[in-house]
Every structure is written in C-alpha cells, then in structure tokens.
C-alpha cells in the first residue's frame, strides 16, 4: 500500500482557510437551486388554493394572534393541527397574495436549509462519544476527512434527488418540508446540548439544564413542538431523539431518562389535538379510535397490508426514481398472504433485520472487540490492512434504516389515509435512507480500494456524476409541473384508469377553453366510476359554458343524488337559477351551500347571494351579504364594487 495510504490523516479545521468551511454549504445551495430553478412560476396545483387562498385565516394573518379569532377557528382541523405551517402561508399571502413566486422561493429556501441541517447532523454525529475513539480513513476521498465527505454527499443526495420534487414544488407540501426542518433542527440542537454536556461534564442542577447547554436543550424542545404543530408526521421525533441518545451517547440510564422525559411528554401533543382538548377526558378517550382514522373507506388491516407494498415502492423510487407520478393508481391489498404483500413484508423484514444485525455488530466496537473477537485499540485500525474497522459505520447505517422506518410509521402503518401513496411522504424518511446509503457506498469504496486500489479521485468523480444525474432528473421532473395540462396529461398516461387524474385533466382543459377535450375526459372518468359526484359537478360546469343548460342541471342534480351534502352542486345550481332570473330558487340554493360550509370560497357565495337579493329588490339583505363577503375576504374586489354600486344607487 502506498505511503500515504498507511497514514491516518485527520481533518484539522484550523489548517483550512475560513471560507473553506462555507464551501459545502455553497455546494448544497447551488445544487438545490439548479434542481429547482425552473419552478418559480409553477402554478397552484391540486389543493394548493383550497389550503391557501380559500382559507380565511391565511388571508387574515391577525387570526394567528387574536385570541378571539384563534378560538373562532379552533374547530378547523388544519388551523388547529398545523398552525405553524399555515402561519407561513399567511405571511406569504400577506406579502405576495396569489403570486406563486414568493411561495416557491420560501419552499426552496426551506429545502436548502434542510440540506444544511442534514450536513450538520451527520458531522455532529461523528463528534459523539461513540465515534470519539475512531480516526478518519487513511484514504481521504475529499482531500479532507471522511466525516466531511459522508456528510456532504448525504446532504447533496437529499437536496438533488428527484423524489423530493413533490415536497418542494407542490406548494402546500411545504408542511412536509417545514416539519422536516424543525424535526432535524430539534435533533441537531439536542446533539449540541449533549456534546456540551459531554465536554463540560455538567448537565443539570436540580434536574434543570444549565447555561449555554440549556439554550440548546430548550431550542430542541421548542423545535419539537413547532414540528408537531406543522404536521403530524413529527409525532415520531421524541422516539428518534431517544434512539439517538442510546445509540451515540453514554451515561447512566437514570440521568439520561430524566433528560428525555420532557421530549417523551411531547408525544401527547398530536393525539390530544386529534381528539379535541375541549372535550371531557372520558369523551376524549372514547373517541381515540375514530380520531386516529383519516379515512373510513379503508380498514386498518387493508391499509397496513397495502403499505408493505407501498414502502417497497418507496425504496425502489429512492434507488431508481423512474416513472414518478403525482397521483398513483395503486392497488389495495386485503390479505397478508397475497404474493406482493408477503414478499414485500419479507424484504422489509430483511432490511430491518439487517439494521438490527449491524447494530449488534457495532456493539462489538463499543465493547472493544474487533471482527475476530480481539480487542481493538485507539482508532479501530486493522494492523493488517491499515484501514478503519467498519464496525462504527455499521451503527450509522443501522440508525439510517431505523430513521427510515420510524419516520414512515405515521403515514404507512395502521392509520388509514385516503391516498395510500404520495411521494412527498418520503421527504423526511429519505434523510435516513441517504445517510445509510452514503455510508454503505463509502465502505464499498474502501473495500474496493483495499482490493483493487481504486483511486480516491475516481470515487469522487463517480459521486459527482451521481449528483449531476440526480440534479438533471429533478430539473426534468420539475418541467412536468410548469403547466397544469402537461402535469395531468403525464398523470393520466401513468394512471389511465383512475378517476381523479381524468377529472383534473378535464378541469384544466376547460380552463384552457378546450371544452371537447374536457367533456371527453369527464365521460371517461364516469365510465370508470359513474357514481363520482365531483365529476358530475365538473361536467355540469362545462355543459353550462357550452350553453347546454338542461344537461348541466341534470349533472348537478345527479351529483346531489349521489351526495346530498354536495355544496358545490347547490352553488352551481344557484348560479344557473340566478342567471335565468329565478332569484328565489337561486337564494335557496346559495343558502343551502353556505349552510353546508363548502370547500369553496364562501365570500363568492355571499356575493352571488347578494346579487340574487338585488334581483328580488331586497336591497337590505343584498347589502348585508356584500358586507359579509368583504368581511370574509377584504381583497374580494367584486363584492366591494357591488356594495359601492348598491350604496350609490340608494343615495348613500
């Protein structure tokens, strides 16, 4: 082995220029920007507007500070459960209204910060007591430390992989990326606190964190709460903190548990919010079963069986991100012994079992035993091959695999969710996957270097090529999002037998004035599922635009027959009756829609109701409805103009 390969070179930060410390961060930011440089004008998609401009508390930022308004919106699940995430939308709306550029800038900034945090998380892990007796590899892939290489490559994989596009480009999925930010930030702050404690030997006084270390401890706890108030996937964060503590730190169990108790108590936040704290304790406990169901159409067992297969699909997408799809037409499985389910379960069991085995092997390193049962000395360097023992790295791979499964558990276990698969659900779990994959690749290269003298420059070139390919793939995937029709044509091509893609494509064809194409897609959707009330609604809208009023009314009434509480159908019928001059019937339809609290802009309903009252000559009620519309949406210009015309017409 060459002379330089016999040396154990340590990374000395002081020998590098100060600006060199910034180079990894600049690389992460640059690659992120390249991947998403074509997304700033991507329009709102799917339920973006429903979750942003249609939410009154997003339009009124004071709702997050006014106690009366907070209480008023208390029954709104997104406001109560995801207040932090929706607050960022409110800030965006205050600054940018419905201009999408500002929203995409924030989403990309969050993604870049997450890349920074992944980098810092990995570097800090190498400073923990578990690694404190290990040296860096004798062969330096980056001309610096192994730690730097692993941390940087894992972070670059995270920010450049095209699987992240849905969480970054799909605006409302900021909830996933922002929850991830607080998730990793909490763990990083906790590690900083533990490292300070490790260095000073002082953790608590009267069981309370002290001084500078206390700031990090408190920051970690606050980040836990912020993560859980952004999205429920953060429920697992305290468990990951506990896992990390016992994998990488040392100390007496009693003291460690005492410091972890506040984190474990935060596990109550999400369940209590789901069940409703305003209810008596007995009622709360009695509703636990129903509160933990996001969809009543799928049994817990069917959902779990399906998720075994879904998780394997996730793993495939992480290894080979081909045929990405916004809206998968994924089969639901009803038996554990179905071939795909059972085989998927075996594969996942092997993955988890491998993590357990690697953890067990790494304990040999912790107890000073090498691969042959012999005690290893400082640095765990093999006297024969002069390279590091792989045992410390085994634990890092195991942690990455455990992270992957734990963070997936909220959305891929026994809590049924209407959509069994979505790519943005991989955003947080992918951190563990990329960490494990990076360490495994490094170990593979180390073995190749030992056997075939694979040069470090070649390894770096391969890694650079991987990042370049992933960056290009992410950029290419984002081109699909730039146009609604293009996006949904891609989805229809990949999910041709699913109703929602057909319906959405028909909707966007309608927006472009391609009415025949819209009708065709809606009719195909109805052949797939004749009982989909929303498709009947949408087809009725196209018929109305084409002047086929009777057919439009027929579609709206069909929608109401299928779902009597369909507020949109009442709203659309109201519009037809108002335009026909049948104001009394229009008022009835509008009032019913308002009573049903539809998932449409209520301000528009009140404005149209006001117009119908004018048609009946009831100016007092018309004025009241216009004022309600303006109160709900101060930026709604049509209601403002109508009120102004009414007041001018009455001499006021």
Question: 397-438 pLDDT, tens per residue?
Answer: 999 999 999 999 999 998 898 899 999 999 999 999 999 999
For the full predicted model, state whether its pTM sits above 0.75.
Answer: yes
Tokens of 320: 């080979």
Model confidence band, residue 226 (pLDDT cutoffs 50, 70, 90): very high
Where does residue 261 rank: exposed (0-12), middle (13-18), buried (19+ CB within 10 A)?
A: exposed
Which of 3.90.550.10, 1.10.10.350, 3.40.50.620, 1.25.40.10 would CATH assign to domain 483-564? 1.25.40.10
Listed residue (471, 438, 379) closest to 153, CA to CA: 438
Where does residue 27 rank: exposed (0-12), middle (13-18), buried (19+ CB within 10 A)?
A: middle
Residue 601: its pLDDT value, please? 64
Residue 187: its pLDDT value, please? 98
Listed residue (177, 161, 55) closest to 106, CA to CA: 177
Where along the chain do the CATH 1.25.40.10 domains lie?
Answer: 483-564, 566-652
Residue 581: its pLDDT value, please? 92
Q: Mean of the pLDDT values across residues 380-389?
A: 44
Q: Do the Cβ atoms of 626 and 610 come closer than 8 Å? A: yes
Residue 195: its pLDDT value, please? 93
Residue 644: its pLDDT value, please? 87
Q: Taking 50 as the threshold, does the pLDDT of residue 349 lie above it? A: yes
Share of the chain above pLDDT 70, in %: 85
Question: What value does the mean pLDDT of the chain take?
Answer: 86
Q: Taking 70 as the threshold, does the pLDDT of residue 10 lie above it? A: no
Question: 583-620 pLDDT, tens per residue?
Answer: 999 999 999 998 887 556 678 889 999 999 999 889 99
Give the least confident one: 14-28, 200-214, 237-251, 410-424. Answer: 200-214
Question: 491-544 pLDDT, tens per residue?
Answer: 999 999 999 999 999 999 999 999 999 999 999 999 999 999 999 999 999 999
Q: Rg of the chain over CA atoms, in angstroms?
A: 28
Q: Taking 70 as the threshold, does the pLDDT of residue 463 lie above it? A: yes
Listed residue (585, 584, 528) closest to 556, CA to CA: 585
Q: Mean of the pLDDT values across residues 5-19?
A: 45
Q: Mean of the pLDDT values across residues 182-209?
A: 81
Model confidence band, residue 2 (pLDDT cutoffs 50, 70, 90): very low
Q: E strand or H helix at 311, and its extent?
A: helix 300-319
**Angle, CA 184 vertex, CA 182 and CA 186 arms, to 5°:** 65
Q: How far apart are CA 303 and CA 497, in angstroms?
A: 21
Tokens of 301: 């067992």
Question: 250-274 pLDDT, tens per residue?
Answer: 888 999 999 999 999 999 998 888 7
566-652 has which fold?
Answer: 1.25.40
Question: 554-594 pLDDT, tens per residue?
Answer: 999 999 999 999 999 999 999 999 999 999 999 999 999 98
Model confidence band, residue 211 (pLDDT cutoffs 50, 70, 90): low
What CA–CA distances, in Å, run from 486 to 23, 145, 482, 483?
Answer: 37, 45, 8, 5
Listed residue (191, 183, 172) closest to 225, CA to CA: 183
Q: How far apart are CA 311 and CA 20, in angstroms?
A: 39
Q: How far apart are CA 175 and CA 70, in angstroms?
A: 20
Model confidence band, residue 450 (pLDDT cutoffs 50, 70, 90): confident
Q: Taking 60 as the threshold, does the pLDDT of residue 277 lie above it? A: no
Residue 205: strand pairing partners: 208
Neighbours of 215 (CB within 10 A): 15
pLDDT higher for 429 or 298? 429
Listed residue (321, 331, 307) closest to 433, CA to CA: 321
Model confidence band, residue 384 (pLDDT cutoffs 50, 70, 90): very low
- Cα-Cα-Cα-Cα dihedral sign, residues 567, 568, 573, 576: positive
Q: Is 12 helix (H, G, I), strand (E, B) or coil?
A: coil
Q: How far apart are CA 470 and CA 564, in angstroms?
A: 48
Q: Is 379 helix (H, G, I), strand (E, B) or coil?
A: strand
Q: Mean of the pLDDT values across residues 274-288?
A: 47
Q: Do the Cβ atoms of 480 and 487 come closer than 8 Å? A: yes
**Angle, CA 52 vertex, CA 178 and CA 50 arms, to 5°:** 120
Q: Do the Cβ atoms of 139 and 209 come closer than 8 Å? A: no
What CA–CA distances, in Å, run from 47 to 193, 231, 327?
Answer: 40, 16, 13
Model confidence band, residue 104 (pLDDT cutoffs 50, 70, 90): very high
Q: Encode burial over 614-642: b for 16+ CB neighbours within 10 A, e otherwise.
A: bbeebeebbbebbebbbebbeebebbbeb
């Amino acid at each position: 082995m060459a002379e330089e390969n016999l040396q154990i070179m340590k990374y000395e930060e002081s020998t590098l220029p100060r600006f060199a410390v910034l180079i990894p961060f600049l690389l992460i930011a640059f690659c992120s920007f390249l991947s998403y440089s074509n997304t700033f004008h991507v329009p709102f998609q799917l339920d973006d507007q429903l979750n942003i401009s249609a939410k009154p508390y997003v339009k009124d930022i004071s709702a997050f500070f006014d106690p009366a308004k907070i209480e008023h919106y208390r029954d709104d699940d997104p406001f109560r459960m995801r207040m932090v995430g929706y607050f960022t939308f409110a800030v965006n709306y205050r600054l940018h209204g419905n201009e999408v550029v500002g929203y995409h800038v924030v989403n990309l900034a969050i993604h870049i910060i997450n890349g920074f945090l992944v980098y810092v998380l990995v570097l800090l892990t190498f400073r923990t007591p578990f690694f404190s007796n290990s040296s860096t590899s004798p062969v330096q892939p980056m001309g610096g430390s192994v730690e730097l290489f692993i941390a940087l490559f894992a972070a670059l994989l995270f920010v450049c992989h095209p699987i992240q596009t849905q969480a970054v480009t799909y605006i409302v999925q900021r909830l996933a990326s922002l929850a991830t930010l607080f998730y990793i930030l909490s763990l990083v702050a906790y590690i900083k606190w533990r490292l300070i404690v490790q260095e000073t030997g002082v953790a608590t006084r009267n069981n309370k964190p002290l001084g500078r270390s206390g700031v990090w401890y408190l920051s970690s706890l606050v980040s836990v709460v912020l993560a859980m108030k952004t999205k429920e996937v953060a429920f697992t964060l305290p468990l990951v903190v506990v896992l990390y503590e016992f994998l990488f730190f040392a100390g007496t169990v009693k003291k460690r548990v005492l410091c972890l108790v506040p984190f474990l108590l935060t596990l109550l936040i999400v369940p209590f919010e789901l069940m409703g704290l305003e209810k008596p304790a007995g009622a709360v406990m009695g509703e636990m079963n129903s509160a933990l169901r996001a969809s009543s159409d799928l049994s817990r067992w069917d959902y779990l069986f399906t998720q075994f297969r879904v998780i394997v699909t996730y793993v495939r997408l992480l290894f080979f991100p081909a045929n990405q799809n916004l809206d998968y037409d994924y089969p639901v499985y009803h038996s554990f012994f179905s071939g795909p389910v059972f085989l998927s379960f075996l594969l996942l069991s092997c993955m988890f079992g491998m993590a357990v085995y690697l953890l067990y092997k790494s304990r040999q390193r912790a107890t000073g035993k090498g691969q042959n049962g012999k005690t290893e000395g400082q640095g765990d360097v093999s006297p024969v091959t002069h390279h590091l023992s792989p045992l410390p790295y085994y634990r890092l791979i195991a942690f990455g695999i455990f992270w992957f499964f734990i963070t997936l558990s909220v959305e891929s276990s026994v809590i049924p969710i209407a959509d069994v698969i979505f790519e943005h659900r991989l955003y947080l779990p992918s951190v563990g996957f990329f960490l494990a994959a990076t360490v495994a690749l490094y170990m593979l290269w180390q073995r190749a270097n030992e056997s075939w003298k694979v040069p470090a420059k070649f390894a770096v070139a391969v890694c650079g090529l991987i990042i370049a390919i992933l960056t290009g793939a992410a950029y290419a995937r984002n081109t699909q999002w730039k146009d609604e029709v293009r996006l949904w044509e891609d989805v229809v091509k990949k999910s041709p037998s699913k109703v929602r893609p057909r319906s959405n494509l028909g909707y966007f064809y309608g927006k472009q004035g391609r009415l025949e194409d819209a009708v065709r897609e809606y009719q195909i959707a109805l052949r797939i599922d004749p009982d989909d009330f929303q498709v009947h609604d949408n087809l009725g809208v196209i018929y109305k635009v084409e002047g086929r009023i009777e057919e439009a009314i027929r579609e709206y009434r069909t929608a109401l027959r299928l779902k009597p509480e369909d507020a949109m159908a009442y709203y659309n019928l109201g519009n037809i009756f108002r335009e026909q001059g049948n104001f009394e019937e229009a008022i009835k339809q509008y009032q019913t829609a308002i009573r049903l609290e539809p998932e449409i802009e209520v301000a528009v309903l009140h404005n149209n109701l006001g117009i119908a009252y004018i048609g009946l000559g009831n100016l007092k009620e018309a004025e009241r409805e216009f004022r309600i519309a303006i109160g709900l949406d101060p930026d709604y210009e049509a209601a403002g103009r109508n009120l102004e015309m009414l007041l001018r017409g009455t001499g006021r």
